[in-house]
Amino acid sequence: MCEDRFTFNVSKRELATLLASLELFRKERAKEDFRPFSEHFEEIEPLTVKEVDKLTEYLEN
């Protein structure tokens, strides 16, 4: 998926928040007029919808 990977531990509550955030981001990313809305995307290209789906699936397993 990505070239730079790292591992971290999160609680079930934190994971639920990450998954909810990905769900909201995916909805925005799927829009035809999508524009990055966070400073996190100033130097890094946002994930595509397909990449968000793969990441979500990975986190859910």
pLDDT digits (tens, 9 = 90+) for 10-58: 999 999 999 999 999 999 999 999 888 888 888 889 999 999 999 999 9
Is residue 9 over pLDDT 80?
Answer: yes
- Per-residue tokens: 56: 């979500």
Q: What is the pLDDT of residue 1?
A: 54
Spatial separation of the C-alpha atoms in residues 14 and 47, rounded to whole Å: 20
What's the pLDDT band for 8 if we cut at 50, 70, 90? confident
Is residue 2 over pLDDT 60?
Answer: no
Query: Which ranges of 1-61 would DSSP assign to H, the alpha helix?
Result: 12-29, 49-60
Q: Closest Cα to residue 47, out of 32, 33, 26, 16? A: 26
